[in-house]
Structure 1
Amino acid sequence: MPSLPWKAWYNTSRWRALRLRIFLRDLYTCQCGCCQMEANTSLLVCDHKRPHRGDERLFWDETNLQTLLKSCHDKAKQKAEQSSLHTRGVWH
């Protein structure tokens, strides 16, 4: 599989600053419905509500971002996204 250039965006200072801005906006509270607050940002994910699939506008759009607990993201969100791969194609 070819390298996906957008993966490098996650390693930029711009992304790190945006991620923290989203956590602050959401008051470090999971937006999945569990409403659990978590001060340890290593246990949080800045999640794209609508998958960006390399679309730079969607990637950086603050209205497309939400705070999720890593455990909620890894369970529900990833399961839903992976189960729909056959209907929307590959992630690149």
Structure 2
Amino acid sequence: MSGTPSWRSDKRTSSERGYNSRWRKARESYLKSHPLCVMCEEQNKIVVATVVNHIVPHKGDQSLFWDKSNWQAVCKLHHDSTIQRQEKQNIVVGCDESGFPLNPDHHWNK
């Protein structure tokens, strides 16, 4: 291990990690043009998005942090549960339209 802390355990303030006034303005603008949670929409639910999630975790990479094609609008519930679980366990949660799990390593897909 390199001795460098994980970007999630970084003790700097959120502003020091990039979540500053520039981010707040970009986030607000993105949510205005993407007002609904994409994960709820996949479940045919209409829920207001309150979080801009980085699809691929940026882990401190500023080019990935600011890449709008890597952003998605989600509700707090999905961000704090499903997305965090996927990141921590390195799995994909959910199923496709035929009911099969999206995770290619799931035993139903073997």
Give 1:69's aligned residue. Answer: 75
Matched, 1:31 2:41: no
Indicate which of 52, 62, 76 corresponds to 2:58.
52
CA distance in 1, matches of 2:56, 2:65: 9
Q: Which has the higher contact order (CA 8 A, sep 6+)?
A: 1
Q: Unmatched 5+ residue regions in structure 1?
A: 85-92
Which structure has the bigger radius of gyration?
A: 2
Give 2:86's aligned residue. Answer: 80
CA distance in 2, matches of 1:58, 1:65: 9
Considering fraction of residues, name the structure with more helix. 1
The alpha-carbon distance between structure 1 residues 56 and 74, as it changes in their structure 2 partners (threshold 3 A), is: same
Query: Is residue 30–residue 69 contact of structure 1 (8 Å, CA) maintained in 2?
Result: yes
Matched, 1:20 2:28: yes
Query: Is residue 6–residue 54 contact of structure 1 (8 Å, CA) maintained in 2?
Result: no
Q: Unmatched 5+ residue regions in structure 2?
A: 91-110
Q: Normalization by structure 1: what TM-score?
A: 0.72
Q: Normalization by structure 2: what TM-score?
A: 0.61
Q: Percent identity?
A: 31
